[in-house]
Amino acid sequence: MSAAAAIDVDNLAKSFRVRRRVGLSTLFRREPATEVAAVRGISFSIRPGERVAFIGPNGAGKSTTLKMLTGILTPSAGHAEVAGFVPWLERRKLARRIGILFGQRSQLWYHLPVKDSLELIARIYGLDRVHAAARLDRLASTLAIADLLERPVAQLSLGQRLRCEIAAALMHAPPILLLDEPTIGLDVSAKASLRDHLIQLSTEEGTTILLTSHDTGDIERICERALVIDKGLLLLDQPLATLRAQHLRHRLVTLMTEEESPSLDLPGVAVASREPHRTSFAVDLGLIQVERVVATALERFSVRDLAIENPPLDDVIRDIYRGAEARVT
């Protein structure tokens, strides 16, 4: 275990005992509890300043792992250190060294102006007034929320609110930032702006980021390295460049055309799905650039609309499994 690591995880495992909640019937008839393993022994290490994506399908064990790393869940086995602390033993001390953002959960007071929430958080972390004011100014300008500060959270759009949530998570300038689905529910442009802000902040302050997401876009834009987890096991730990080359090499180009069923006989382009006037092509980036595919399509068909998408995470994971099987056989 390296002392210099920001996050160090060694064979971490967690299983839950599941029992029905108390009702009149369960008072008299105890049902045996069943053990459900959520995380089955995973190990990894993250250097300070690294930006790492933690990805996997629903129920893979991402959130459980993240909760153990923040200290709000005690593992059944294994060890971990975050910023030099064992999270579940030193939760309060750790709290000053990490910032946390749960995308679906607010840490701002709903009916208060954003500024009041941020000031209250500054009090919780014991920042003195001068420090807090300077920090607030800096976050406000980097996250472009200066003109939102006087407004109650209730009046903000989701994208605006999430930028304020990031400010809340970063008020105490933590060296480590843990993000759980930070862009969930955002539209495309809000996602892009949130990602840019995150990258800018972490580069300027050397913040270590560990984020979970369903969105392959979050991972590609923000992270340098990816941990893929499924069914509680670490499936893959790779630099993003490798992951991109091996498993993110497809784009989905969807064309809405006057033609009922257009076809493109280009190398690395295959039809992924087809309906009348709407065709999706899987484009292999190793063989052809998306720009060329689009240019060719515009040239040959009368295109009413088009969309370029990242492959869904499930496809990436299926692809990883396929790769693993291929290597075994």
Shorter beta-carbon distance to another protein: residue 74 or 263: 74
Shortest Cβ 14–another protein spacing (Å): 9
Shorter beta-carbon distance to another protein: residue 4 or 27: 27
Shorter beta-carbon distance to another protein: residue 123 or 300: 123
Shorter beta-carbon distance to another protein: residue 104 or 329: 104
Distance, in Å, from the CA atom of 169 to the CA atom of 100, rounded to the nearest integer, reads: 6
CB neighbours of residue 222 within 10 Å: 23
Shortest Cβ 198–another protein spacing (Å): 19
Shorter beta-carbon distance to another protein: residue 22 or 328: 22
Shortest Cβ 223–another protein spacing (Å): 22
Shorter beta-carbon distance to another protein: residue 100 or 114: 100
One-letter amino acid at 151 equals R
Distance, in Å, from the CA atom of 315 to the CA atom of 326, rounded to the nearest integer, reads: 16
Sign of CA dihedral 153, 155, 159, 163: negative
CB neighbours of residue 116 within 10 Å: 16
Cα 297 from chain centroid?
Answer: 33
Shorter beta-carbon distance to another protein: residue 154 or 270: 154
Residues 6 or more apart in contact with residue 191 via CB below 8 angstroms: 183, 215, 217, 218
Shortest Cβ 65–another protein spacing (Å): 12
Shortest Cβ 150–another protein spacing (Å): 16
Contacting residues toward another protein, per CB under 8 A: 16-17, 21-26, 64, 67, 70-74, 88, 91-93, 95-96, 98, 100, 102, 105-107, 109, 111-112, 116, 119-120, 123-126, 128
What DSSP letter does each residue of 65-100 carry, written as one string?
Answer: HHHHHHTSS--SEEEEEETTB-TTTSHHHHHTTEEE
Nearest to 142 by CA among 204, 99, 185, 187: 204
Shortest Cβ 307–another protein spacing (Å): 35
Whole-angstrom CA distances from 272 to 254, 283, 303 are 9, 9, 18
Shortest Cβ 136–another protein spacing (Å): 15
User: 3-state class of 293 per DSSP?
Assistant: helix
Edge-to-edge strand list for the sheet holding 225-230: 98-102, 176-180, 208-213, 51-55, 225-230, 233-239
